[in-house]
Amino acid sequence: MDTIIQTFHLKKIFKEEEVIKPLDFSLHQGEICALIGKNGAGKSTFFKMLSGQLIPTAGDIHLFGKSGKETTKAQKRMGFMIETPEFFPDFTATQNLEYFRIQRGVVEKKRIYEVLQIVGLANEKKKRFKDYSMGMKQRLGIALCLLSSPDCLVLDEPINGLDAEGIMEIRQLLLKLNEEKQITILISSHILSELQLLATRFVFIKNGVIVDDLSKEALDEKSKKQILLKVNDTAKTAQLLEQAYADIQYKVLPNHIVTIQNHVDEGGEINRLLTSNGVLVMEFRFEALKLEEYFLGLVEENEK
């Protein structure tokens, strides 16, 4: 797997404050990586160092394996949306993109129509920017990132301030870019439920330090919270569980549902115990923690 971004002991100090502690991070081809942290954790500062908007106090950044003077060239293969772009309110989407195309001196004119098509604004290109909805404005921001046909997008809060429909549109767009155009994505957001639907990897940052870094699979595995069973006989289930596990924590709910909060790793044994004793298990599944709950647990753990 190719490494797109790699940082080595990357550090940023503002005045006396060490906002990013020596930070080692890598982003690999094809990932949709969510950077998660509370306000002030250092996400934007980190992104701005990647884009060249801020100069690191110490450490190194490699983009597509390039560093030093070659980093600037490698940055052209990336699309950054770190602050909402300053579009001209009275310009249409096409006029705005044309302005940036010329300013950046990068691409052919027809790319404007391609990117508007990709972000689903091709039919709205004559509308003036000030008449766009928030979701359309954000999509135009992504279109601007796509002008130079980047291999990687770094998006700081791209769904900030959007309604449910706008959020869904951005999600579908990002998934499409990742799946169809193989664009790698690094994204931050405070809407964790949305990141859970989008990301393949979750990196948690606190006070400039990465406190956890795990794949979607690892998160799902770690966040198994309870077992949910639907059985024909809840009384017998309860009796068998109590006999087998002295410390069992469970709840009997309506509709023949029993949930078990501990011994979650022993789901297979529990299933066998019940079925071999004549209980009909009609449903058996693990219920996962929401990303919010995992994040809060992590923050609490780190504050102890």
Ligand X SMILES: Nc1ncnc2c1ncn2[C@@H]1O[C@H](COP(=O)(O)OP(=O)(O)OP(=O)(O)O)[C@@H](O)[C@H]1O
Q: Which is nearer to ligand X, 39 or 276 (CB)?
A: 39
Q: Which is nearer to ligand X, 42 or 166 (CB)?
A: 42
Q: Is 45 in the site for ligand X (CB under 6 A)?
A: yes
Binding mask 2-21 for ligand X (x = CB under 6 A): ------------x----x--
Part of the chain binding ligand X (CB under 6 A), chosen from 36-44, 57-65, 101-109, 270-278: 36-44
Q: Is 44 in the site for ligand X (CB under 6 A)?
A: yes
Part of the chain binding ligand X (CB under 6 A), chosen from 42-50, 73-81, 194-202, 279-287: 42-50
In 3D, which of 270, 266, 264 has the Cα closest to residue 287?
Answer: 264
Q: Which is nearer to ligand X, 44 or 234 (CB)?
A: 44
| Largest CA-CA distance found in the chain, in angstroms, rounded | 75
Q: Is 40 in the site for ligand X (CB under 6 A)?
A: yes
Exactly one of 41, 154, 198, 241 binds ligand X (CB under 6 A); that residue is 41
Q: Is 42 in the site for ligand X (CB under 6 A)?
A: yes
Looking at the DSSP bridge assignments, the partners of residue 215 are 201
Q: Is 206 in the site for ligand X (CB under 6 A)?
A: no
Q: Is 229 in the site for ligand X (CB under 6 A)?
A: no
Question: How many binding residues for ligand X (CB under 6 A)?
Answer: 10
Part of the chain binding ligand X (CB under 6 A), chosen from 38-46, 141-149, 167-175, 285-293: 38-46
Q: Is 161 in the site for ligand X (CB under 6 A)?
A: no
Provide, rounded to whole angstroms, the least separation between the CB of residue 45 and ligand X.
3
- Interface residues with ligand X (CB under 6 A) are 14, 19, 37, 39-45
